[in-house]
A = this chain, B = another copy of it.
Amino acid sequence: MLDALTAIAGPANVLTGADMGSYVCDWADRPQGAPLAVVRPADTDQVAAILRLANETGTPVVPISGNTGLAGGTQADGAILLSMGRMNAIRAINPAARTAVVEAGAIIADIHEAVAEHDLIFPLFFGARGSALIGGALSTNAGGSNVLRYGNTRDLCLGIEAVLPTGEVVDLMRQLHKDNSGYDLRHLLIGAEGTLGVITAAVLKLHPAPLANATAMLAVRSVSDALGLLNRLQRETGGAVQAFEYMPRAFVEACVAQIPGLRTPFESAYDVNVLVEVGATQPRAATPGEDGQPPIAAQLEEALGALFEEGALLDAVVAQNEAQRNAMWALREASAEITRLNDPVIDNDVAVPLDRMQALLDRIAAIIARHDPGARDVSVAHLGDGNLHFTCCPTRPDPDLMETIHTEVEDAAIALGGSFSAEHGIGLRKRDSMARHKNPAAMAAMRAIKTALDPNGILNPGKVLPDP
């Protein structure tokens, strides 16, 4: 097997033993199993050759991107770990059509940088963008902080190329806004977490870069009040709100206490803190007026002023420059570090309809009060998407207690019409949740599709679908 892999990818690109190094550890340096070998293909033909070989020999293959996943989707015991990192070309940027053609191994931050030269953005923003690869983001349908305005990764992708488990190359690299030519394999492969095919390239949709941003930290009485503000701001700005992020008091306090340099812009501590950002793509909303500030900032301040009058807003600080804006974002993006520093934490990634977030938070408070009243809830939420990253530091690392709280939070989300996995996906970690909550007919259909496309079950086996 190793000889055959070497013949395909070259000796420098088949790594075993200690040479596998960081490929086999997750973002927090935790080992992710012992693969047979790490293979680093140079192009789509090599990916196809590797999959054909694996399919013929019944060898498992686990595709890996930037190792920033949170669901155990790249655990690779005994498998070929297929690293896409060498296929990292940004092949073309077409400013007129607002598209970029990239290979799966392109780092998201590199794509950001490349399109910025054309006054465009690829609006997929999350903390790990400096190491996450676009192929992994597509395979997990990554979300992040700008979904509210621009959608999930699948909404930012016009076309893909992928290699099926049997080694055939599906070429759907279209730059079209309308293409009703058969089943939508693009959407099927996006979010399939590398179990149905290996995405090797994509056509990405770009957007005009905002000409001006206005960012603020708010303290509000309740999450319901925050959503009222969101609706008002969307109306005033014509849907220009690009981020609306919730941070509770315990999260802000943990950031300030545990991470040097982080601070809150407020004098006092508040229970409900929200980072809001609006972006103006219209010159008339971005051009500074007589007071020196762009109309988009005035719109934000006007809406905040009205809310303050009504008593719903307790405090607000509008960033006056890029440094203040960055400081606000640094607080929000510290969530991964807070999780790491407070390990073990109970975490869960759930979503509910927007108007039920307050109910979810109320139920979670009751769950914590019932099982571990001293636990600290350091959750954050993409509030504008109804997506809560539940994160809770228990008073004692009792596995049963942690499991109970984890499960009850998930059940609460489901009871409110929610999902047990908003943006992190299923991988290995959420297979039990799939078994408990997913519609049985949907699960049976997924299994049938998996078997149809991967008859020998070689591609990322054991992920996403629970054992029957």
Contact = CB atoms under 8 A, between A and B. Distances in A.
Interface of A: 94, 96-97, 99, 140-141, 143, 147-148, 152, 154-155, 164, 168-172, 174-185, 187-188, 190-192, 196, 208, 231, 234-240, 280-285, 299, 351-355, 382, 385-387, 417-426, 430, 433-434, 437-446, 448-449, 451-453, 464-465
A418 B181 CA distance: 11
Given A97-B355, A140-B180, 13 more contacts: A94-B355, A155-B155, A164-B445, A169-B441, A170-B439, A176-B353, A176-B419, A178-B387, A180-B424, A181-B426, A184-B187, A238-B240, A448-B453
B164 A236 contact: no
30 contacts: A96-B354, A97-B354, A97-B355, A140-B180, A143-B178, A147-B177, A152-B178, A154-B184, A164-B441, A164-B445, A170-B439, A175-B353, A175-B417, A177-B387, A178-B423, A181-B419, A181-B426, A181-B438, A182-B438, A182-B442, A183-B191, A183-B449, A185-B445, A185-B446, A238-B240, A238-B282, A238-B285, A448-B453, A449-B453, A452-B452
Question: When A and B form their complex, which 5 residue pairs have the shortest distance between CB atoms, in order from nearest?
Answer: A187-B187, A168-B441, A452-B452, A448-B452, A238-B282
Contacts of A451: 452
Interface centre among A231, A351, A425 (most CB of B within 10 A): A351
B422 A386 contact: no
A446 B184 CA distance: 9
Given A180-B421, A180-B425, A236-B283, A188 B188 contact: yes
Contact of A283 (B143, B178, B184, B235): B235
Copies of this polypeptide in the complex: 2
Nearest to A211: B235
B236 A282 contact: yes
Contact of A177 (B234, B386, B440): B386
Contacts of A188: 183-184, 187-188, 449
Contact of A239 (B171, B281, B442): B281
A352 B181 CA distance: 13
B351 A172 contact: no
A143 B441 CA distance: 29
A422 B178 contact: yes
A409 B448 CA distance: 38
Contacts of A448: 452-453
Nearest to A168: B441
Given A96-B355, A169-B441, A442-B182, A237 B418 contact: no
A176 B352 contact: yes
Nearest to A385: B177
A378 B443 CA distance: 48
A96 to B, nearest CB: 5
Given A170-B441, A452-B449, A351 B285 contact: no
